[in-house]
């Protein structure tokens, strides 16, 4: 810092290799801040760390401020975290989609997302074109499943399905194993 002439702006290179930086060393912070009146932190990616160059220097400067980029990032974070209403997601399981189709359609009309589990997931997977063993599919429910998916797509709400299943191992029926959805379907077919 002693070699620095009078300048309007001083930018530091990466200081992470200095142990004094990571330790928020007061002497190191004071040397960094020597000759500095106003400290502007524009590095939101380091804001959560207690470093000499982000926290320590503030005690030796006349003023410490967040920069424009920092402020813009905070604004964007606030925008995505503040919601005018809570998210409403329905978790739908069981079987017999035909008897539940009206209720599922209603949920599709008011929810922000649908999660299908259990036997109901197989009906939806079948409607999406996934090849399943016939004993897992209620073919009478195919039309209802397609209509529900079309309505969800029209409303632009996500439909989530299981990524894996907890099943008996065919070679050892006493043992439960977790299989990814695509693997279990290959085994069952």
Q: Which domain holds residue 42?
A: 19-81
The string of pLDDT tens digits covering residues 7-62 is 677 777 788 889 999 999 999 999 999 888 999 998 888 888 899 999 999 999 99
Q: Work out whether the CA dihedral 134, 153, 144, 165 comes out positive or negative.
A: positive
* CATH code of the domain containing 155: 3.40.50.1260
Structural domain total, the chain: 2
The string of pLDDT tens digits covering residues 81-98 is 877 777 899 999 988 898
Give the separation between CA 71 and CA 38, rounded to whole angstroms. Answer: 17
- Tokens 């589990």: give the residue: 117
CB 47 within 8 A of CB 20: no
Give the separation between CA 4 and CA 85, rounded to whole angstroms. Answer: 53
Whether residues 115 and 175 share a domain: the answer is yes
Local structure of residue 116 (DSSP, 8 states): E
Given 39, 58, 81, the domain boundary residue is 81
pTM: 0.52
Residue 186 above 60 pLDDT? no
Whether residues 111 and 160 share a domain: the answer is yes
Give the separation between CA 98 and CA 140, rounded to whole angstroms. Answer: 7
């Amino acid at each position: 810092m002693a070699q620095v002439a009078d300048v309007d702006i001083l930018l530091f290179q990466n200081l992470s290799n200095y142990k004094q930086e990571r330790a928020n060393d007061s002497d190191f912070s004071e040397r960094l801040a020597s000759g500095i009146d106003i400290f502007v932190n524009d590095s939101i990616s380091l804001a959560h760390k207690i470093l000499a160059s982000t926290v320590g220097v503030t005690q030796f400067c006349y003023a410490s401020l967040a920069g424009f980029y920092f402020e813009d990032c905070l604004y964007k974070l606030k925008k995505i975290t503040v919601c005018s209403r809570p998210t409403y997601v329905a978790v739908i399981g069981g079987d017999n989609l035909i008897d539940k189709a009206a209720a599922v359609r209603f949920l599709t009309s008011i929810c922000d997302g649908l999660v299908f589990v259990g036997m109901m997931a197989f009906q939806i997977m079948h409607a999406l074109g996934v090849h399943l063993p016939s004993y897992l599919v209620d073919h009478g429910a195919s039309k209802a499943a397609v209509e529900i998916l079309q309505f969800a797509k029209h409303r632009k709400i996500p439909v989530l399905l299981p990524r894996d299943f907890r099943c008996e191992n065919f070679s050892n029926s006493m043992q439960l194993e977790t299989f990814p959805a695509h693997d279990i379907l290959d085994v069952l077919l």
